[in-house]
Structure 1
Amino acid sequence: MDKQGDQQQTVTLNNGVTMPLLGLGTFRMRGLESITQAVDAALEYGYRSFDTASVYRNESDLGQALRQLLPKYGLSRSDIFITSKLSPSDLGPGARDACLKSLSDLGLDYLDLYLIHWPGKQGWRSDDARNPAIREETWKALEDVYQTGAIKALGVSNYTVAHMAQLLGSCRVPPAVLQVEFHPRLPQTSLLSWCQQNGVHLQAYSSLGCGHLLENVEVCKVAKAHGRTPSQVLLKWALQQGVGVIPKASSSVRIKENFNVWDFELSSEEVELLKGDGTEKKYCWDPTGVA
C-alpha cells in the first residue's frame, strides 16, 4: 500500500493504475442537491474516489456535482478516481454502448474503473447455461473499449471464485478489481486468498453489513477500546487486510467519520475476534447460484 498525501492511502492495480483504498459509495443516493452536498463534504475531507453504477441512476448528477465542485478544491479530473458499473440488463451485445452511455452521463472522457456489476444476465434464470458465454462476450467488448483508453482499469463485481477462474481462462486483459460484499460476517476468506494469489484487488461493499453490524457486541467492544465508532472499526477491519472500501454516507458527519480511519490500528487478535464464530451471513445479493 502506498501513501498519497498525508492521509489517503492507495493501491497499485495489476495494470499500474493507482486507486484510492477508500472511496465514497453512492448506492441509493438520488437527486442533484443531496449528491452535491455529499460530494462537497467528501472532497473537503479528503476523498478522491467515487463509486457509482448505471443501475443507481445517479451518474448524471454525480458528474455534474464533480464538475461544479472540483475547482472549489483546486482539483482537476486527474485528481479523482471514478468507478461505474455495467447493468445486468446490458450484458452481451449492448455492453459497449452502455459503457459509452455511462461516460456520456457522467460527462467524462474516461472512467478510472469499469466493472461488470453482476455475473448473470437480467431476465435470465441464475442457472441459465448461457451465462458463461455472455460474460465472456461482454468482457471482450469491454476489453475493446479499454484498448481505446476510455476505461483505465477493468473489473467485475459479485463474481465467485468459479466466475473469476473462468474469466482468467479466456481474457486478454485480466480483471484488476473484484468488488463484493465483505465484512466480519462475510470475510470471503477463500475469495480474498484467490485474489491475492492472482493479482486482483478485492474491494468491499456493504462494509457495515447494511448497518446490522454497527451494534454487534464484538464490534462495539473493539470500538470502545480504541475510542472509535463501530463504523470506523468495520472499515479498518477490511483496510488492514488490504481490501478497499466504498462506504455510502450522505451526512457530512458520517462522511468525515468514515474517512478518519488512517491513524489507528487493530491488533491481529482484534481482526480475528471480529469474525466471531465464523458463521457467514449475506445481507445483500447471493451470486453463488449464477451459472
Structure 2
Amino acid sequence: MTDQGPSVLLNTGAHMPLVGLGTYRLQGPEDTYQVVDAALTAGYRAFDTAAVYRNEAEIGQALRSLLPKHGLSRADVFITSKLSPKDQGTKARDGCLRSLEQLGLDYIDLFLIHWPGTQGRDVRDKRNPENRSQSWATLEDFHKEGKFKAIGVSNYTVKHMQELLKSCRVVPAVLQVEFHPRLAQKELRALCEESGVCFQAYSSLGTGVLLTDPVVQAVAQRCGRTPAQVLLRWALQQNVPVLPKSAQPMRVQQNSCLFDFELSESDMARLSALDCGEKFCWDPSLVV
C-alpha cells in the first residue's frame, strides 16, 4: 500500500488512515460516484461501508471507475465493511461472501461484526453470545484465508469486548463505536489500549446535534474552523481515527482539513468536559 497520509498502525501490522469517509445513507450510483470522487480528490484513502447500508455495490463500482482517474490502485485504498445483524451466527459465512461479491473485491482491508445482537432476536435472548461467537470464528477463517486483512467489531460494550478477548484466536484489530465529546467512552478506550485494539470513532458530530452546541461553536469561532472540523480534531488529538460522512462534496473536502491546526489544551478540556454519556445512535448496552 502506498502512502495514505496520517495513519494508525493496527495489530496486524497494517496502517489504517486516521480519516476515512463514512458512507451511511449514501445511496444511488450518481451521488456515490460524485462523493467518492470528491473524497479521493480531497485525499481520502479509506472508505467505510456495511451490508446494512445497501451501498457496497455502488461504492465498489465507484472506486473501480475512479481509482485510475486519480492515478491510484486497489492497494492505495483501505476499505472497511461490516456483517449485517441478520447474518449473525450460522449465516455469517454467506454474509461475508456477499460483501466481497457486492464490493467486487478479492479482499477487504477490515471487516467488522456490526452489532453484538442478532436481527429478529430480543436483545436479552441468550443465543446472542453464541451467535456472535460463531460469527467471530467465521471472520477468523476469512482472515486466515487472506480475504479479510484485518477483522474487528462495532458497537461492542466493555462486557462484549471482555467476552470476545477471552475466547478469540485472533485479537480484534479495531473496535468502532460512537464517540464524541458527550460520549467519551473512557472505559472502552482503556480496555482497547490495554488489549492492543484500535479504538475508532463513528458519529463524531453526534448525528449533527453537536454542531450547534455552544461550547463547540465557541471553540470553532476562536480557531476559525467549522464546528465539524473542531469535533473531528478533538478525536484525532486523542489518537482516535474518525469517519466523517457527508453527501456534499464541499463538506467532504472541509472534513479532510484536519491536520493543519491544533486545539489548545484548554479547548480540549472544555470539549471533554461535555461528557455525559449521551448516545445519539444505537445503544448496545442491553444486548446480552
Q: Same fold (TM over 0.5)?
A: yes
- Of 179, 185, 189, 1:188 maps to 185
Contact 2:11 2:196 (8 Å CA) reproduced: yes
In 2, Cα distance between the equivalents of 1:193 and 1:201?
11
Confirm whether residue 147 of structure 1 aligns to residue 148 of structure 2: no
Confirm whether residue 19 of structure 1 aligns to residue 16 of structure 2: yes
Residue pairs, 1:96-115, within 5 angstroms? 96-115=93-112
In 1, Cα distance between the equivalents of 2:16 and 2:255?
18
Structure 2 vs 1, CA of residues 128 and 265 (structure 1 numbering), >3 Å: closer, same or farther?
same
Deviations 1:214-235 (Å, cap 9, x if unpaired)? 0111111111111100000000
In 1, Cα distance between the equivalents of 2:264 and 2:129?
41
Which residue does 2:241 correspond to in 1? 244
Which residue does 1:220 correspond to in 2? 217
- Of 124, 127, 130, 1:130 maps to 127
- Of 180, 196, 210, 1:199 maps to 196
Which residue does 1:95 correspond to in 2? 92
In 2, Cα distance between the equivalents of 1:277 and 1:212?
13
Contact 1:4 1:10 (8 Å CA) reproduced: no
Confirm whether residue 211 of structure 1 aligns to residue 198 of structure 2: no
Letter of the 1:213 partner, please give it.
L
In 1, Cα distance between the equivalents of 2:45 and 2:276?
34
Letter of the 1:227 partner, please give it.
G
In 2, Cα distance between the equivalents of 1:223 and 1:195?
30
In 2, Cα distance between the equivalents of 1:108 and 1:154?
16
Contact 2:7 2:15 (8 Å CA) reproduced: yes
Contact 2:182 2:274 (8 Å CA) reproduced: no
Residue pairs, 1:15-54, within 5 angstroms? 15-54=12-51
Note the C-alpha offset of 1:269: 2.2
Which residue does 2:251 correspond to in 1? 254
In 1, Cα distance between the equivalents of 2:22 and 2:136?
24
Note the C-alpha offset of 1:250: 1.3
Q: TM-score, normalised by structure 1?
A: 0.97
Note the C-alpha offset of 1:144: 0.6
In 1, Cα distance between the equivalents of 2:274 and 2:10?
33
In 1, Cα distance between the equivalents of 2:3 and 2:74?
16
Secondary structure of 2:200's partner? Answer: strand
In 1, Cα distance between the equivalents of 2:42 and 2:73?
16
Deviations 1:58-97 (Å, cap 9, x if unpaired)? 0000000000000001000000000000000000111111
Letter of the 2:284 partner, please give it.
P
Letter of the 2:211 partner, please give it.
L
Which residue does 2:155 correspond to in 1? 158
In 2, Cα distance between the equivalents of 1:274 and 1:14?
30
CA RMSD of aligned residues (A): 1.2
Deviations 1:30-64 (Å, cap 9, x if unpaired)? 00000000000000010000000000000000000
Which residue does 1:231 correspond to in 2? 228
Note the C-alpha offset of 1:276: 3.4
Contact 2:50 2:56 (8 Å CA) reproduced: yes
Secondary structure of 2:100's partner? Answer: helix
In 2, Cα distance between the equivalents of 1:280 and 1:254?
27
- Of 244, 265, 268, 2:262 maps to 265
In 2, Cα distance between the equivalents of 1:92 and 1:182?
27
Note the C-alpha offset of 1:277: 4.6
Q: TM-score, normalised by structure 2?
A: 0.98
Which residue does 2:7 correspond to in 1? 10
Which residue does 1:276 correspond to in 2? 273
Runs of 5+ unmatched residues, structure 2: none
- Of 66, 76, 81, 1:84 maps to 81
In 1, Cα distance between the equivalents of 2:240 and 2:274?
21
In 2, Cα distance between the equivalents of 1:248 and 1:99?
24
Q: Give the % identical residues.
A: 58
Contact 2:181 2:274 (8 Å CA) reproduced: no
